[in-house]
Amino acid sequence: MAWFDESRLDDEAALGTADLRLRTLAESGARVRREVGDAADAIAEAVGRSLESRPRAVIAAGPDSRLLRAVLEPFCPVPFVAWPSPALPGWAGSLDLVVVLAPEGSDAGTASAVAEAARRGCQLVVATPRDSLVAEHATGRWTTILPTSTGDQLATAVAMLSFLAQVQLGPSTQPDTVADALDAIAIACSPHRDISINPAKMLAISLADANPLLWGGSVLAARAARRVAESIRRTSGRAALAGDAEHLLPVIRAARIRNVFADPFADDAGDRRPVLVILDDGVDDPVAHDERIRLEEAAATHDVRVERVSSEAVGEVGRYASLLLHGTYAAEYLRLGLVED
């Protein structure tokens, strides 16, 4: 049976066992700067080519297209389509811009999509390693490769969003601002900061005896909630659910009344109560506000704890990045604290 030992979160020897994973998180801001810096010349080339005429539509191809959709859909002035399948829409052609995120560059389906885009004469901008399978299939007269090297999806996306912002197809995205937001979280959630002043360690403790329910009001916050839930499932092997209010309310309402006399050391995994984790990126949306009120009222009625993770970073992408990194740090500290009898 696994139990949570919070003392491990401040124990140097225990933290040393997670040094590589925590160091990777701490370098998130540096990866953004590196990817954007290395791709600067290619971005300028793509911008110069794109400014000649506005595309009929923008197609984000490949399995990593959903992040671009979350950012671009509210802002893109031309029709925008996220197309994660290994092909393109039948109507895509020379009037359209195809953008692809392939940070690893080894996905055969993505390679097939970029080859089809090049064959059809689409303007094609691909963020991928230069010597990758995807880059080999992207060869074409109207293709620009934004070279990547870190394998980091977020850093690759920021490079692509920087290009799209410069050609007025997406919101203003300042890579340095995103990197600064990530650096701020890395400092606040550093393993060298004591539990009492470390928000990620405190969140991990609050999740230690619970089944997390994660909710984000905006499109980007909801995506961050799904990614954090994935991290919690991966690091702890426990259930973690992310969804809209309609998905989470039944779980909250089904929570059993807390037994104040229960022995916490005798409870098994099936008795873990839900805890509602609200990821707040500050977006003032009436629908999201109403959903949040419903969730908080239901949690209060059924004695379900509520944890809040907020971000004051500049820009939508910066807030998304900081929420995601905060939650990922918490998932790693949850992994570190769980020990087997």
In a domain, 285, yes or no: yes
Of 143, 174, 205, the domain-final residue: 174
At residue 272, the pLDDT reads 85
Cα separation, 310 vs 315, whole angstroms = 14
- Residue 334's domain comprises 2-18+191-340
Residues 199 and 264 grouped into a single domain: yes
Question: Same structural domain for residues 164 and 241?
Answer: no
Mean pLDDT for the chain overall:
93
Q: Residue 88 carries which side chain, given as an amino acid letter?
A: L
Per-residue confidence band for 195, with pLDDT thresholds at 50, 70 and 90: very high
Say which range, 54-68, 107-121, 223-237, 256-270, has the weakest mean pLDDT: 256-270
State the pLDDT at residue 264.
54
Q: How many domains does the chain have?
A: 2
Mean local confidence (pLDDT), 87-105: 94
Supply the DSSP symbol for 258.
P
Average pLDDT estimate for 73-97: 91
- 29 CB neighbour count, 10 Å cutoff: 23
Q: How many CB atoms lie within 10 A of CB 76?
A: 20
**Are 14 and 50 members of one domain?**
no
Q: Report yes or no on 179 lying in a domain.
A: no
Q: Does residue 198 sit in the same domain as residue 325?
A: yes
* DSSP SS3 for 160: helix
**Distance (Å, rounded) from C-alpha 281 to C-alpha 185?**
14
Q: Rounded mean pLDDT of 3-10?
A: 95
What are the residue ranges of helices labelled H in the chain? 12-17, 19-26, 28-38, 40-50, 65-72, 108-120, 133-137, 153-166, 175-188, 199-207, 219-236, 245-253, 286-301, 316-337
pLDDT at residue 263, rounded to an integer: 60
